[in-house]
């Protein structure tokens, strides 16, 4: 019963994080006047288009202005511009919390839908294919190499890989992407330089999948190249710090085989911080990689956030912020459960 109470308390605290993030976004959009400017620009654009169409049927300038003014007042009421932001925005937060993400002002899905949930669900698989796959590959390489390095500290291979890891971690993603495009797309001409499919994609499902993977190879290679060093060095450091603890020394003094010491005494203890990095990394990967997706023209969640900010589409910005925070909260709650499973001491 105590375990369930603890999880319930953690769940409520994480829900508070979710509400706090949404309120901060609302205040940032409302108090700065950005929301009013965006909606005002949308209303003015609609009025401009309406003026051109009505000017062909209404010849009297006064009648035309009265018709436009009436329509402008209707649009202002529809968008809530007749109310201050602190009265208009809470309704947006309420709808988002109920997973009613609303409709985008300017952005559309590939099928032409303006419903935000349709736009997000359309982009999410693209990001999972690109960013989540790259993260999984980097984490797997980092675990394998990092554990190996921790068992041979100070060796030549340890020094070489440590230098390479530092160089990998220091690489700017956008610079590495452009460099790989120049090398593999324009010089060697192995991979395409952007997009998800060829201009004329193949007809069969198998060929279309192969074409998709061909286009995804270079951006995945870019993300792996700039992140695998960080994963390797992080795992090496965590395992190395655990290996220097007193209980590991005692286990070795008892004459236990090194593989038993590594598996039961080192890796099991180091699993918690490593697991934290992996779970939160996977959750963060669903947010996409803005620079990489922009460089490679990949229509994922990161590119959607970039487009929403450029288009000043507040509905999409608020919805994406909520989705990203919700994924983070779910990941943190999952970690709370895994901590208690892997380490019973956490319960107390």
Q: What DSSP state is assigned to residue 196?
A: S
Query: Could you tell me if 13 and 136 lie in one domain?
Result: no
- Mean pLDDT over 229-254 rounds to 83
302 and 335 together in one domain: yes
DSSP symbols for 253-282 = HTT--HHHIIIIIIIHHHHHHHHHHHHHHH
On whether both 170 and 252 belong to a single domain, the answer is yes
Residue 110 lies in a domain: no
What total number of domains does the chain contain? 2
**What is the CATH classification number for the domain harbouring 214?**
1.10.3720.10
Asked whether residue 162 is assigned to any structural domain, the reply reads yes
Strand pairing partners for 115? Answer: 103
Does residue 263 sit in the same domain as residue 141?
yes
Q: What is the per-residue pLDDT across 296-338, written as a single tens digit (0 to 9) for each? A: 888 888 888 888 888 777 778 877 877 777 777 778 777 777 7
- My answer on whether 89 and 138 are in the same domain is no
Determine the average pLDDT of the residues in 242-263: 82
Q: Residue 326's CB: how many other CB atoms inside 10 A?
A: 18
Q: Is residue 307 part of a domain?
A: yes
Q: Has residue 337 been placed in a domain?
A: yes
Average pLDDT score over the chain: 79
Q: Pick the residue with more confidence: 40 or 127?
A: 127
Structure tokens belonging to residue 90? 């809470």
- Which token pair is 219? 């951006």
pTM of structure:
0.71
Give the domain extent around 21: 2-97
Same-domain pairing of 89 and 135:
no
């Amino acid at each position: 019963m105590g375990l369930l109470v603890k999880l319930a308390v953690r769940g409520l605290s994480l829900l508070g994080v979710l509400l706090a993030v949404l309120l901060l976004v609302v205040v940032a959009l409302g108090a700065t006047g950005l929301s009013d400017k965006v909606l005002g620009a949308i209303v003015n654009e609609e009025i401009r288009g309406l003026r051109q169409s009505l000017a062909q049927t209404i010849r009297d300038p006064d009648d035309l202005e009265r018709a436009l003014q009436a329509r402008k007042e209707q649009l202002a009421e529809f968008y809530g511009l007749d109310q201050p932001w602190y009265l208009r925005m809470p309704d947006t937060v309420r709808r988002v919390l109920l997973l009613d993400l609303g409709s985008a002002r300017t952005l559309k899905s590939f099928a032409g839908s303006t419903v935000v949930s349709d736009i997000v669900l359309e982009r999410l698989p693209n990001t999972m294919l690109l960013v989540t796959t790259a993260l999984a590959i980097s984490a797997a390489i980092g675990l394998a190499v990092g554990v190996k390095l921790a068992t041979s500290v100070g060796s030549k291979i340890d020094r070489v890989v440590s230098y390479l890891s530092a160089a990998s971690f220091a690489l700017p993603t956008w610079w590495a992407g452009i460099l790989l495009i120049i090398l593999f797309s324009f010089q060697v001409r192995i991979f395409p330089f952007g997009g998800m499919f060829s201009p004329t994609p193949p007809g069969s499902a198998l060929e279309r999948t192969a074409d998709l993977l061909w286009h995804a190879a270079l951006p995945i290679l870019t993300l792996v190249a700039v992140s695998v060093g960080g994963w390797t060095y992080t795992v090496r450091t965590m395992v190395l710090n655990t290996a220097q603890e007193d209980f590991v020394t005692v286990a070795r003094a008892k004459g236990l085989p090194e593989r038993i010491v590594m598996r039961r005494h080192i890796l099991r203890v180091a699993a918690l911080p490593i697991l934290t990095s992996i779970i939160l990394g996977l959750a963060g990967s669903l947010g996409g990689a803005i620079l990489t997706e922009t460089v490679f023209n990949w229509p994922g969640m990161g590119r959607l956030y970039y487009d929403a900010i450029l288009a000043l589409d507040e509905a999409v910005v608020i919805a994406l912020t909520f989705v990203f925070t919700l994924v983070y909260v779910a990941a943190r709650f999952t970690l709370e459960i895994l901590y208690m499973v892997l380490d019973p001491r956490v319960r107390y």
